[in-house]
Amino acid sequence: MSGDDRPTMPPVRLPADAELARDALAAPLFAYAVRLARWAGTGVPVGAGGELLDEQLKSAASELDLGATPEELGAVSDAWNLAVDTGLLDVAEDGTDSADAAPGAPLDEPVGTARPGSELDLLEEGNPEEVLELWRNGLDSVLADAATPSFEDLLGGIEGAVSEDGTVNPDAIDLDSIDWNPEEEAEALDSALGGLYLLTVGDPSVAEGSMVPLPVLAASMVVPDDMDEPTDEVLEAVSEVMMRLDEQFRLLEPTGLVEYRPVDEALTQEAGEDSELPADLDDEDVTKYGMVKLTPLGLHGVRERMREAGIEAPLVGDLAERPAEELLAALPAYTEESAQGEIEAWLAARKPLEAARELLAAARGSDEEGPARRLSCQQALSLAGPEAEPALRGVLDDRELGGLARVWLAERGATDVPQPDEEMVFWLTVDTIAAQLRTVGEPEELQGLVQGLVDQHTGFFDRAWRVDHPATGEVLEAMGRVHPDKSTAKEARKAAFKARSNQA
The better pLDDT of the pair 147, 102 is held by 147
Tell whether the model's pLDDT for residue 4 goes beyond 60: no
Q: What is the DSSP string of 264-317?
A: PHHHHHHHTTT----S---HHHHGGG-EEEE-HHHHHHHHHHHHHTT-B-PBTT
What span, in angstroms and rounded, lies between the C-alpha atoms of 120 and 30? 12
Mean pLDDT to the nearest integer, 479-492:
90
In this prediction, residue 374 carries a pLDDT of 96
Mean pLDDT to the nearest integer, 177-182:
62
In this prediction, residue 105 carries a pLDDT of 45
Residue range 430-444, pLDDT digits in tens = 999 999 998 888 877
In this prediction, residue 84 carries a pLDDT of 94
Q: The pTM is what?
A: 0.79
Element spanning 348, H or E: helix 336-348
Mean pLDDT to the nearest integer, 353-358:
98
In this prediction, residue 155 carries a pLDDT of 52
Cα–Cα separations (whole angstroms), residue 439 to 45, 335, 343:
63, 12, 18
Adjacent-strand bridge partners of 261: 291
In this prediction, residue 165 carries a pLDDT of 58
In this prediction, residue 269 carries a pLDDT of 62
Tell whether the model's pLDDT for residue 169 goes beyond 70: no
* DSSP 8-state secondary structure symbol assigned to residue 261: E
In this prediction, residue 18 carries a pLDDT of 95
* DSSP 8-state secondary structure symbol assigned to residue 12: B
Q: What is the DSSP string of 58-82?
A: HHHHHHTT--SSHHHHHHHHHHHHH
Mean pLDDT to the nearest integer, 172-199:
78
In this prediction, residue 104 carries a pLDDT of 46
What span, in angstroms and rounded, lies between the C-alpha atoms of 194 and 200? 10
**Where residue 490 falls among pLDDT bands split at 50, 70, 90?**
very high
Question: In this prediction, what percent of the chain has a pLDDT beyond 90?
Answer: 60
